[in-house]
Amino acid sequence: MDIWSWICELPSSEEWAESDSPLIFRLASAGKMQGDSSRSIQLRAERTFESNSEALLTFNICFEGFQPSDTQKPIWVSDACPLSSEQPFLPLVLQLVQEIINRSPAVPDSTCPRSQLQKLKPKPVSWIMESHSPDSFSSFFNLVFLTRLFWLCACDAPSEVGSFYFQYLLGPNIEILTCKQAPVLRTFLVSVGVDTELCFMRTLGYMLVKWIILKEVSVGLQTLTPLVQHLGISYATEAHGLWTLKGYAPINAMKLTHSSDQRSKFPAIGAKESLLRYALAHQQLEAVIQLEYSVGFYDGYIQVNARVDNLRFHVAKLGLSKKKADMDFFDERHFPSRIRVWAGPEVGTTYVSALSLGRSTNNGESEVEKQRIVKGSLGKLKTPHVKARAKVSMKNKMKNWRWDQDAEGNAAVFDAVLCDNVTGHEIATWNSFDNVNYSGSGKNSFHNRYYGVNRPFTKTGGLVFAGDDYGERVGWRLSREMEGSVLKWRIGGQVWLSYWPNNVRSSYVETRCVEWCDEVDLPLIPAK
């Protein structure tokens, strides 16, 4: 699917020299089950002229061969694109992105509702179009166009068109939504700001959620392509002494490590259980991994230090609204159970002479309490009577999160593991679910886990680690010969999300995992 190349060739099309009839690009087509006629989703380009003879292009999307018969009428029409402009198709790109943001799924308790978002500024998008080649920008435009088309087919068209979109358009092109589009997408997300970024990425997440659900139930979509792994999108940046890795992944797109269903070959799922899993599926992990780094120049070597500045993990609920009947199921969500972050030079490098970690494994604290009681009786007894009793008790101080440091080659690893401070079990790797009380009051510390003073998460179910939680630094010593160069440094993260019943009665428990890895710059240039 190369829509952008087709659009760019339209002004110089020789076909328009003879006729002003619209040119058609078939986005997807397939024959009907019965009959010879075919169904298709079409993008049409029409040329018109203003009173001053300025040529304009407008685009519209039409459905052909569906019921009812009036589906051939345009369901979407673009703004006019002046062909005399230096960037004639900038209005088209701006309109598509703006409409994607405006239709972003609702997220409860969001501090940035869609109504408060300003109109998208054209300058960042214009710069992206100028600074990237048509081939690289084409993949980004396909992503934008496919996302905008999702809202048209799934919400504004007959159900037959929606099924057709998932089966013949989104399914064969699902890899467009992978990290392969990261270079241009990263530039776009950084340029438009974090508020627009969240709206855009939550739309992508919602679209993937719907596709995965239909893929799993296989209702009329048996010909869908196999599920592509790592459907989430991530990108990394370097600025102002910080390495930042951002990642987005729908819950159902994450790898399932273990669940209670694995104990039964054919697990029985009732109506309430189905409602719970449907609510859990409409969730997306939004992660920000932020490391602070510094560079020092000394006689004979260069010292590179890094420390955890901020780790933020939020599980956003996409598109569902609260109802009294399903409020408890709506409030259920996954929670982070293990975080693994690493940073280091490229694999195979020889300019790193040593890696120093901040500390070894932290041992738990313990308190020993001793009590001695002496009782005696003196008086008229012939023999004095004395009794002594000693009591020793031990208390262990256990925190919900346990931090470790490790090394893999020249990469420093920061590992945070969530533990049950009642039983001591690591949640992400706990394969025995017998001690999980499904009514919410069992032998574990995760009932009402979003309430109380000692809760391990925020009120909204998120998780934040700052530098004061784990501030020890790691350091690399590099050869002084690397001075003046800009190196590529790896930064990655692996996140486990677990689900245990919180306020509902259910036997469903699971853990999923996602992994991201990217490169950032490390400038070894002394300050003047």
Q: What is the pLDDT of residues 237-285, one digit of tens each?
A: 999 999 999 999 999 889 999 887 766 555 667 778 888 888 899 999 9
Q: Judging by beta carbons within 10 Å of its beta carbon (0-12, 13-18, 19+), is residue 2 exposed, middle or buried? A: middle
pLDDT over threshold 80, residue 382? no
pLDDT over threshold 50, residue 212? yes
pLDDT over threshold 50, residue 441? no
| Mean pLDDT of the region 182-189 | 85
pLDDT over threshold 70, residue 525? yes
**Which region among 35-39, 235-239, 300-304, 504-508 has the lowest average model confidence (pLDDT)?**
35-39
Q: What is the DSSP string of 466-503?
A: ETTTS---EEEEEEGGGTT-EEEEEEEEEEEEEE--SS
**Are 176 and 143 contacting, i.e. CB atoms less than 8 angstroms apart?**
yes
**Which region among 57-66, 248-257, 359-368 has the lowest average model confidence (pLDDT)?**
359-368
**Are 103 and 203 contacting, i.e. CB atoms less than 8 angstroms apart?**
yes
pLDDT at 263: 61
Nearest Cα to 57, choosing from 14, 98, 16, 5?
16
And the tokens for 5?
């190349």
**Which region among 128-137, 185-194, 386-395, 468-477 has the lowest average model confidence (pLDDT)?**
386-395
For residue 307, the cross-strand partners are: 292
pLDDT over threshold 50, residue 207? yes
Residue 395 or 483, more confident? 483
**Residues of the chain with pLDDT > 90: what percent?**
33
pLDDT at 260: 79
**Are 468 and 235 contacting, i.e. CB atoms less than 8 angstroms apart?**
no
pLDDT over threshold 90, residue 71? no
pLDDT at 384: 65
pLDDT over threshold 70, residue 436? no
Q: Say how far apart CA 12 and CA 61 lie, in whole Å.
A: 22
pLDDT over threshold 80, residue 449? no
Q: Say how far apart CA 343 and CA 235 lie, in whole Å.
A: 14
- Classify 330 as helix, strand or coil: helix
pLDDT at 157: 83
Secondary structure tally for the chain: helices H, strands E = 9, 20
**Are 320 and 279 contacting, i.e. CB atoms less than 8 angstroms apart?**
yes
| Mean pLDDT of the region 347-355 | 89
**Residue with structure tokens 């304009």?**
56
What band does 492 get if pLDDT is binned at 50, 70 and 90? very high
Q: pLDDT, tens digit, for every residue of 167-177? A: 888 888 888 77
Nearest Cα to 518, choosing from 273, 353, 291, 325?
291
- Classify 320 as helix, strand or coil: coil
**Which region among 83-87, 109-113, 153-157, 267-271 has the lowest average model confidence (pLDDT)?**
109-113
Question: Phi and psi dihedrals of 434, rounded to 5?
Answer: -70, -30
pLDDT over threshold 50, residue 332? yes
Distance of CA 74 to the CA centre of its chain: 34
- Classify 262 as helix, strand or coil: helix
pLDDT at 456: 74
Q: Say how far apart CA 248 and CA 203 lie, in whole Å.
A: 11
**Which region among 151-155, 175-179, 275-279, 521-525 has the lowest average model confidence (pLDDT)?**
175-179
**Residues of the chain with pLDDT > 70: what percent?**
75
DSSP code at position 319:
S
pLDDT at 438: 47
And the tokens for 320?
């569902």
Nearest Cα to 123, choosing from 200, 195, 192?
192
Cα-Cα end-to-end distance for the chain:
50
What band does 367 get if pLDDT is binned at 50, 70 and 90? low
And the tokens for 337?
């159970």
| Mean pLDDT of the region 424-449 | 62
Amino acid at 441: S
pLDDT at 365: 55
Q: Say how far apart CA 318 and CA 519 lie, in whole Å.
A: 30
pLDDT at 440: 44
- Classify 151 as helix, strand or coil: helix
Three-state secondary structure readout of 338-349:
EEEEEEEECCCC
Q: Say how far apart CA 62 and CA 3 lie, in whole Å.
A: 15
H runs (alpha helix) in 58-133: 90-102, 122-131
pLDDT over threshold 70, residue 370? no
pLDDT over threshold 60, residue 35? no
Amino acid at 41: I
Nearest Cα to 253, choosing from 289, 290, 207, 221?
207
Listed in sequence order, the residues at least 6 apart from 272 whose beta carbon sits closer than 8 Å to its beta carbon are: 329, 504, 506
pLDDT at 377: 63
Residue 179 or 515, more confident? 515
Give the pairing of strands 55-64 and 76-77.
Answer: antiparallel
Q: Say how far apart CA 6 and CA 500 lie, in whole Å.
A: 50
- Where do the structural domains in the chain lie, given as residue ranges? 1-231, 250-360+391-528
pLDDT over threshold 80, residue 130? yes
pLDDT at 521: 93
What band does 497 get if pLDDT is binned at 50, 70 and 90? very high
**Which region among 346-350, 451-455, 524-528 has the lowest average model confidence (pLDDT)?**
451-455
And the tokens for 339?
């975080």
**Which region among 216-225, 226-235, 328-337 has the lowest average model confidence (pLDDT)?**
216-225
Nearest Cα to 499, choosing from 400, 443, 418, 421?
418
